[in-house]
Amino acid sequence: MVTSGRTQGLAFRKMHGAGNDFVVIDSRGRGAVVTAALARAIGDRHRGVGYDQLAELRDSDDADLTLDFWNSDGSRAGACGNATRCVADLVMRESGRDTVSIRTTRGLLRAERRGGAIWVNMGAPLTDWREVPLAHTQDTLHLPIEGDPAAIGMGNPHCVFFVPDAGAVALDTLGPRVEHHPLFPERTNVEFASLLGPDHLRMRVWERGTGITLACGSGACAVAVAAHLRGLTGRQVDLVVDGGVLRVDWRDDGVWLSGPVAFVFEGVLSPALMDAAL
């Protein structure tokens, strides 16, 4: 990967997974450089680069790399399945291997290349109210919120609604309202899903700290888990999102996620942008 010093600017890559777009910064060998202010500056789609999440690679003592995630509002993201797959693809191409281990705040994740597809194990779903987390004791499969949503943790909180037509939902108004619901002390990602057929769902998402996105990997995992727990699907589910199709396979060893990965371009952030973020 390309790296550069502060005086030359900061090298980055732009990638996406089913339209879920990311800025990827490689800080291995030099230490983390991203701050909340810099994440906001880069995330500005008019004055910066723009992204749904930023992924920063760092060195790791017990994995191939450590991966940190940022939202475009400068807040931290605890998990990001599509960004993890994008970075896994880069590192596997760099190393010539078909597996990679990635340390995140979610834990130690394993990614694999299988027949050209990138899969990542996002770990076991969190269904206890303390782990999601929620503000108080609650049945996570039936929250006391209009629409009877479920709460699932995938290293970040998700609130999943099952509706007749996900495409008809006013996501721009309902998303932020639910994101800031007092039941979620750390805010929440919000998904609306409808059943298209056996093990086939349509999903739209509002991501906390970002807004409407074309896809969400951890959200797809949360929706698939909630759908199975409610008896709507099996444990292998295809999800049609606004940017493509994601596949989830909930196995005994965790929730595996797969979908498209695309490299878009690489560039260098100017020192002026970085100085403006100080």
Instruction: List the catalytic residues.
Output: 80, 216
> What DSSP designation does 126 have?
B
- Helices 81-95 + 217-229 axis angle, to 10: 120
* DSSP 3-state of 71: strand
| Residues in contact with 97: Cβ distance below 8 Å, sequence separation at least 6, in sequence order | none
Q: Which amino acid belongs to residue 46?
A: H
Q: Are 201 and 237 in contact (CB under 8 A)?
A: yes
Instruction: Please count the CA atoms within 13 angstroms of the CA of 122 that sit on its side-chain side.
Output: 34
| Residues in contact with 163: Cβ distance below 8 Å, sequence separation at least 6, in sequence order | 147, 169, 192, 193, 194
| Residues in contact with 149: Cβ distance below 8 Å, sequence separation at least 6, in sequence order | 143, 159, 160, 161, 162, 178
Q: How far apart are CA 169 and CA 147, in angstroms?
A: 12
Q: Scan for tokens 């269904």, then name that residue.
A: 127
